[in-house]
Structure 1
Amino acid sequence: MSVTAGVSDTVIAIRDKLRGKIGQTKVKRYWPGKAPEWADDADEDGDIRMARAVALEKAFPTHEDSGIVIKDDPRLRRLAESRVDNRDEIRADHRRIRQAEIVSTEEEGNRRNEGADAEEEDEDALEERRRRIREKMLQRKQEETPLLEEEEEEEVEEEEEEESEYETDSEEEHMGIAMAKAVFVPKSERETIAERKRLEEEERAMEEAVKRKLEHRKIET
């Protein structure tokens, strides 16, 4: 008798026994101090479990016996092959998921590195901008120094002439009149002050733009 036939006979016997039990089921009352009638049925359930275990052992033996030759069952072989295929698919899925996680981690690291590089580039650009502004202001100051000296000499001469005229007028007039003299600011100096303010405002605007850009990039990452 083949393994499949033995399993089928055992299953049929178990099924018939269960049907008989179901048809004979009645409502039983339990009395205190008296053993319930279903206690005897527990032994029968144990027999059923034992028979099932024996049938499974015959179909799928856990210990190999060199003296017994098991007949090749195509259905069992296909079942075993399908289980192997399922294990291979599960392993392949695990590998794909792991590779996707690795790629995602690498992309995230690349984005962080790119963000850090961009921040360094922005800081370098700001520092270069400041350096050019300082050099430009220093160059303009050096170019205007001789002009300022000449204008200061002219101012001194004008002040001396005005003082001389004031003294002459005071001698000729009977009453002394206090004359208010306006502060004279050379044109070149006015242009220098305006240029310095413009450069400072430009530098502040550049710094604010870089800060806003860095904050926006941090929010995105």
Structure 2
Amino acid sequence: MADGDITLALPTMRVAYEQGALTEADLATTWHEQLQRWLDAARQAGVAEPNAMVLATANAEGMPSSRAVLAKGLDERGLVFFTNYTSAKSHDLMATRYASATFPWFAMHRQVSIRGTVEKVSAAETAEYWAKRPRGSQLGAWASPQSIVVNGRPALESALANVERRFADAETVPVPPHWGGWRIQPEVVEFWQGRQDRMHDRLRFQLTRDGWRVQRLGP
């Protein structure tokens, strides 16, 4: 197929959303219980990386950027992911203190979007998660100058080899001082269920002065 044919095909690419519905009566009492329900359903359905979410941030000048990260914590306080604190995303978060994230479960015709302020998780929470990471991932966190320009793949391999030698005799690898977790503290959480004829169900938990309020949005 020629490139022109691919471009012409885009307007005709369409999926019929007919896998379910979402009513107010379906919702859990809290946003985090509802999100946990859908995460569990995605995992049971065999969705690849069901905890993968697209994290969006903006820098101090308002320039947005997004990338996929893995959610590693969920409770009434918010949604947690871990990263290098010197990364581009962390610089954005330190500058604005806001983020949004979306779980795109395409196979289930569902998505969940979260928006709110952010905070660093405690050192104890970071250490607890760090201990559960494979040793290779721990070494990679020490070796990677995340978001920094590097002089080719060999430079990364060399950095990892140096870290492997550094901790060769260590039974446990310590948490790097530049690494840890961020928690998104939601102000808005929207649950989206695809429906036939694009009449989707959109139910939103909105944080107000009086607590959480559930609202239905037009599709």
Computing the radius of gyration over CA atoms, which structure comes out larger, 1 or 2? 1
- Greater strand proportion: 2
- Greater helix proportion: 1
TM-score, length-scaled by structure 1? 0.16
TM-score, length-scaled by structure 2? 0.16
